[in-house]
């Protein structure tokens, strides 16, 4: 075999390998696209069925929302339920309930031993004690105001946590509250519209507990003659304090900068979707 023949053979083998690699990549991408399409269709069907029972509005068009979700319609309180991917390489998802709130402080309730890190990883210690050893063994409670945490996590709220855990296959709940929103996430995919509806019921019950705790906190501050903190509400779009040029959503009352409102083309809380504001 002369040198020219050897070079031709090497080029032929290299070209063949290149073609095979490209074909394998295209096949893999096609399989992934088909899998994601089937997954997306399954999620949309779940949402549509759950939205019908809740008399809510499904938002599953990828052009309108990156994550399929449903949102309430008036006169129901503003809330949303999203089916968010659980990971980049997984076809699974976690359902997330979210609702706007006002006057709350930071609180998180995290399952002990969860494989998912809490929002405030740097906050060490055993968390806030709420007087229920069984609950504290299952969940870690962190809060800026321990009194607010204890007012919120009373017997009714702890019963809601248990109701939420029993939905589906027993995955536990994660709860986060800040000055703008309540968020509840279940650490498992739910496979039926009935389970999604049950999670929304738990979320609405928890929303009532949050509002009660906010009122309780305000009453305690009033009777203790403690002045409210001098702080500006934060815009949910840019995260900066809202002072000048402020508008408030007419439905959920969440404050925005006027420029941020125009940029988002309405309220940025996915659970709301209102397009009208008040000055």
Look up the CATH number of the domain holding residue 258. 3.30.40
User: Does one domain contain both 106 and 151?
Assistant: yes
Q: How confident is the model at residue 184 (pLDDT cuts 50, 70, 90)?
A: very high
Query: Given a cut of 60, is residue 221 above it in pLDDT?
Result: no
User: Does one domain contain both 147 and 181?
Assistant: yes
Q: What span, in angstroms and rounded, lies between the C-alpha atoms of 96 and 80? A: 8
User: Does one domain contain both 248 and 201?
Assistant: no
SS3 184: strand
CA dihedral sign, ordered 221, 224, 227, 231: negative
Instruction: Report the chain's C-alpha Rg in angstroms.
Output: 24
Query: Given a cut of 70, is residue 66 above it in pLDDT?
Result: no
User: Does one domain contain both 131 and 104?
Assistant: yes
SS3 138: helix
- Number of CB atoms found within 10 A of residue 259's CB: 13
Q: Is residue 238 part of a domain?
A: yes
Vertex 31 angle, CA 27 and 32, to 5°? 115
Tokens 């995290």 belong to which residue? 110
Q: Is residue 20 part of a domain?
A: no
Q: Is residue 4 part of a domain?
A: no
Q: What span, in angstroms and rounded, lies between the C-alpha atoms of 156 and 152? A: 9
More confident residue, 227 or 184: 184
**In this structure, are strands 173-177 and 139-143 parallel, antiparallel, or unpaired?**
unpaired
Closest CA to 147 of 213, 215, 246: 213
User: Does one domain contain both 208 and 236?
Assistant: no
Residue 247, domain extent? 232-279
Q: Is residue 80 part of a domain?
A: yes
Query: Given a cut of 50, is residue 7 above it in pLDDT?
Result: yes
User: Does one domain contain both 117 and 94?
Assistant: yes
Give the pLDDT score at 157: 95
User: Does one domain contain both 255 and 149?
Assistant: no
User: Does one domain contain both 149 and 71?
Assistant: yes
**Is-contact 206 77, C-beta < 8 A?**
no
What are 43's two structure tokens? 């999620």
Q: Is residue 2 part of a domain?
A: no
- Counting the structural domains of the chain, the total is 2
User: Does one domain contain both 190 and 273?
Assistant: no
**Is-contact 256 237, C-beta < 8 A?**
yes
Tens-digit pLDDT profile for residues 185-201: 998 888 899 999 999 99
What are 101's two structure tokens? 């709130």
* Mean pLDDT of the chain, nearest integer: 79
**What is the separation of C-alpha 116 from the centre of its chain, rounded to a whole number of angstroms?**
14
User: Does one domain contain both 182 and 78?
Assistant: yes
Query: Given a cut of 70, is residue 243 above it in pLDDT?
Result: yes
Query: Given a cut of 90, is residue 68 above it in pLDDT?
Result: no
User: Does one domain contain both 193 and 269?
Assistant: no
Tens-digit pLDDT profile for residues 123-140: 545 578 888 999 988 998
Q: Is residue 26 part of a domain?
A: no
**Phi, psi for 197 (deg, rounded to 5):** -65, -40
Q: Is the peptide bond preceding residue 135 cis, with omega within 30 degrees of 0?
A: no
Q: Is residue 34 part of a domain?
A: no
Among residues 199, 223, 247, the one where a domain terminates is: 223
Q: How confident is the model at residue 161 (pLDDT cuts 50, 70, 90)?
A: very high
Among residues 223, 255, 270, the one where a domain terminates is: 223
What are 45's two structure tokens? 């069907």
Give the pLDDT score at 43: 79
**Which are the contacts of 58, defined by CB distance < 8 A and separation ≥ 6?**
44, 47, 48, 51, 68, 69, 70
User: Does one domain contain both 205 and 241?
Assistant: no
Among residues 223, 242, 268, the one where a domain terminates is: 223
Q: Is residue 7 part of a domain?
A: no
Give the pLDDT score at 91: 59
């Amino acid at each position: 075999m002369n040198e020219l023949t050897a070079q031709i053979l090497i080029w032929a083998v290299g070209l063949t390998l290149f073609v095979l690699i490209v074909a394998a990549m295209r096949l893999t991408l096609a399989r992934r696209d088909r899998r994601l399409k089937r997954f997306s269709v399954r999620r949309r069907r779940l949402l549509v069925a759950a939205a019908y029972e809740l008399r809510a509005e499904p938002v599953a068009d990828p052009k309108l929302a990156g994550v399929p979700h449903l949102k309430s319609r008036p006169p129901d309180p503003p809330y949303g339920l999203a089916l968010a991917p659980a990971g980049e390489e997984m076809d699974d998802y976690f359902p997330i309930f979210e609702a706007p709130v006002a006057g709350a402080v930071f609180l998180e309730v995290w399952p002990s031993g969860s494989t998912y890190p809490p929002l405030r990883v740097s906050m060490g210690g055993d968390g806030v004690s709420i007087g229920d050893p069984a609950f504290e063994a299952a969940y870690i409670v962190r809060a800026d105001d321990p009194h607010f945490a204890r007012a919120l996590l009373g017997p009714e709220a702890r019963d809601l946590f248990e109701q939420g855990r029993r939905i589906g296959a027993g995955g536990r709940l994660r709860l986060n509250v800040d000055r703008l929103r309540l968020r509840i996430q279940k650490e498992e995919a739910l496979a039926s519209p009935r389970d999604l509806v049950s999670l929304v019921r738990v979320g609405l019950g928890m929303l009532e507990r949050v509002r009660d705790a906010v009122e309780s906190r305000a009453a305690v501050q009033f009777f203790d003659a403690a002045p409210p903190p001098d702080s500006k509400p934060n815009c949910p779009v840019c995260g900066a304090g809202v002072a000048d040029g402020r508008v408030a959503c007419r439905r959920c009352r969440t404050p925005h900068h006027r420029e941020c409102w125009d940029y988002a083309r309405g309220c940025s809380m996915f659970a709301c979707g209102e397009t009208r504001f008040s000055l």
